[in-house]
Amino acid sequence: MDNSKRNSMPTQSAEVRANNFKEVALGYDDETALKEANRCLNCKNAPCIKGCPVGVNIPGFISQLAKGNKDEAVKVLKGDNNLPAICGRVCPQENQCEMFCVRKAKLGGSVGIGNLERYTADYALEKDIEAKKVEHIGKRVAIVGSGPAGLSCAGELAIMGVEVVIFEALHKAGGVLVYGIPEFRLPKSLVQKEIDKVIALGVEIRLNQVVGKTVMIDELLDEYDAVFIGSGAGLPAFLKIPGENLCGVYSANEYLTRVNLMKAYDKDAITPIQRAKKAVVVGAGNVAMDSARTAIRLGSECHLVYRRSRTEMPARAAEIEHAEEEGVIFDLLTNPLEILGENGFVKGIRCIKMELGEPDASGRRSPVAIKGSEFEIECDQVVVALGTTPNPLIKNSFKALETSRKGTLVCDEETLQTSVERVYAGGDAMTGAATVILAMGAGKKAAKNIYNKIMNK
């Protein structure tokens, strides 16, 4: 039996990358990719596919790679995934496809499916496989938001001959891919290439258009055959503890937006960011890891405070490892009580130690405070990364849209239509903060249903 070990992804060394914003993971070279592709056992029942939210034909594209047919591999991959260069970099593969890989436990570790996806997709981007223009079928669809959900819905509809206009609130397209996820994990030039491809299909992107303010949903319904809402879940949660409005306390959204979208990492950028001596990041998801690793790159010492233990950390395994290698200090089983200030600026954070109690509704063991264990961490910055919920702005301007208690848009699970005829939704706006691949999948699914609807099928 072939027991070969999984080929690891080459990275910039931790000491070097902690001082730059360039991409950390460097990608497989041809030889490594070929070796890794040949590790795939091409299982008949392909358990990995069940782990993929959009059902990518994984053994299909990997076996093409193994045969040296890169162009074929691209075709198979792109059949199921519109944004593979992005997903290859940011999907939590260890909890999806790779978790079900037969090689995982005993045969040298799961096949590097994500790494191979990235390799294949980057090849396709380099080759610039031309998008072909299609003939218009005389139908128009408006899309709200240019994140992965909106982009994939747009691309899919455009291919079917629908005229598509995307309305984006910010001055740049891409959603979380441009304002949230940092350059060192997802290069913006790559995101731009994916967006350019969508534009090449004939999709128009109108920037600086806040739907619900600049243009209303009912106006869009007058002008278009259908509307897709992919407005994400952009509303940040705060801790609701004293001191949270001190200077130096940021939501992760603000912190990352300033650095990524507004390029504040560049000392000459016009948009300012506070460069801290010591930053404390609260939370342990991808957003928290991105914030902590950004703080390190801005020259801060960085502590990450999380109220549960390491096994409960929701971030991708690779991000947790990378953060630790880069010098982020994890203060686990620790809960913030109060942010301390002096002259209006942060000077510390008072926390309490926690221990794990009984499992809660989510199945995770819930943390309980240990009496009398309060202590202070001295710091001059606090970044709060506790998750986000959908922005009520669209709902407030268009009351007919039904939302859940959490603010997510209520949709029919099969068609993704909202409570309003001809209005569809998907991605974080419908699910709450989730993943790129789910948002992309939802955009694609909605596109099919929108097409059927407007063609009266």
Ligand X SMILES: Cc1cc2nc3c(=O)[nH]c(=O)nc-3n(C[C@H](O)[C@H](O)[C@H](O)COP(=O)(O)OP(=O)(O)OC[C@H]3O[C@@H](n4cnc5c(N)ncnc54)[C@H](O)[C@@H]3O)c2cc1C
Name which of residues 197 to 216 contact ligand X (CB under 6 A). Answer: 209-212
Which amino acid belongs to residue 407?
G
CA 442 – CA 145 distance, rounded (Å): 13
CA 204 – CA 182 distance, rounded (Å): 26
Stretch that binds ligand X, among 26-34, 114-122, 165-173, 410-418 (CB under 6 A): 165-173
The answer to whether residue 436 forms part of the interface with ligand X (CB under 6 A) is: yes
Residue 257 binding partner per list ligand X, another protein, none, with a CB distance cut-off of 5 to 8 Å that depends on partner kind: another protein
Q: Which of 264, 420, 425, 439 binds ligand X (CB under 6 A)?
A: 439
**Structure-block tokens of residue 238:** 């705060």
Region of residue 427 (phi > 0: left; psi between -120 and 50: alpha; otherwise: beta): left
Cβ neighbors of 232 (< 8 A, separation 6 or more) are 145, 147, 149, 175, 176, 390, 391, 427, 428, 429, 439
Q: Which of 155, 236, 314, 443 binds another protein (CB under 8 A)?
A: 236
Binding mask 82-121 for ligand X (x = CB under 6 A): --------xx------------------------------
Helices and strands, counts by H and E, the chain: 17, 16
CB nearer to another protein: pick between 275 and 453: 275
How does strand 365-369 pair with strand 345-359?
A: antiparallel
The answer to whether residue 234 forms part of the interface with ligand X (CB under 6 A) is: yes
Stretch that binds ligand X, among 6-14, 74-82, 425-433, 449-457 (CB under 6 A): 425-433
Binding mask 308-327 for another protein (x = CB under 8 A): --------------------
CB of 37 to another protein, least distance (A): 41
Instruction: Count CB atoms within 10 A of the CB of residue 410.
Output: 12
Residue 375 binding partner per list another protein, ligand X, none, with a CB distance cut-off of 5 to 8 Å that depends on partner kind: none
The answer to whether residue 180 forms part of the interface with ligand X (CB under 6 A) is: yes
3-state SS record for 283-340: CCCHHHHHHHHHHHHCCCEEEEECCCCHHHCCCCHHHHHHHHHCCCEEECCEEEEEEE
Name which of residues 383 to 412 contact another protein (CB under 8 A). Answer: 391-393
**Structure-block tokens of residue 255:** 């912190």
The answer to whether residue 262 forms part of the interface with ligand X (CB under 6 A) is: no
The answer to whether residue 235 forms part of the interface with another protein (CB under 8 A) is: yes
Binding mask 198-227 for another protein (x = CB under 8 A): ---------xxxx--xxxx-----------
- Residue 301 buriedness (CB in 10 A; 0-12 / 13-18 / 19+): middle
The answer to whether residue 435 forms part of the interface with ligand X (CB under 6 A) is: yes
The answer to whether residue 165 forms part of the interface with another protein (CB under 8 A) is: no
Binding site residues, another protein, CB under 8 A: 169-171, 207-210, 213-216, 234-236, 238, 244-248, 250-251, 253-254, 257-258, 262-263, 268-272, 274, 343-345, 391-393
